[in-house]
């Protein structure tokens, strides 16, 4: 298991699309509202180099496959009735993902 850092912007966008955009830890990607939760992991991967001690340990690569160990699927959160509701901008398109 190694720390993961995308090798270029396209690879980074693909990773963010697969993981961050579907995670409850990154509300800002969905709402673009000031004050909405932004993921420190995502931010820190862009601020620090892979060799920096501050680089997040959550982004890893196992058997050549990158993933985020802090990932919690957004659909599960939205379907959890005990979780607090997430306020959505009425002008934002809501996509429903298959579990």
- pLDDT tens by residue, 8-34: 999 999 999 889 888 888 776 767 777
Tokens 């509701």 sit at which residue? 85
In this prediction the pTM is 0.68
Q: What is the pLDDT of residues 28-69, one digit of tens each?
A: 676 777 776 778 898 899 899 999 999 999 999 999 999 999
Beta bridge partners, 62, equal 65
Counted residue by residue, the chain has a size of 99
């Amino acid at each position: 298991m190694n720390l993961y850092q995308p090798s270029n912007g396209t690879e980074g966008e693909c990773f963010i699309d697969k993981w961050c955009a579907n995670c409850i830890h990154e509300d800002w990607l969905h709402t673009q509202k000031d004050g909405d939760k932004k993921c420190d992991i995502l931010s820190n991967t862009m601020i620090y180099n892979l060799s920096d001690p501050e680089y997040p340990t959550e982004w890893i690569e196992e058997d050549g496959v990158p993933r985020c160990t802090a990932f919690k699927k957004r659909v599960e959160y939205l379907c959890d009735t005990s979780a607090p509701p997430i306020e959505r901008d009425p002008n934002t398109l809501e996509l429903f993902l298959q579990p």
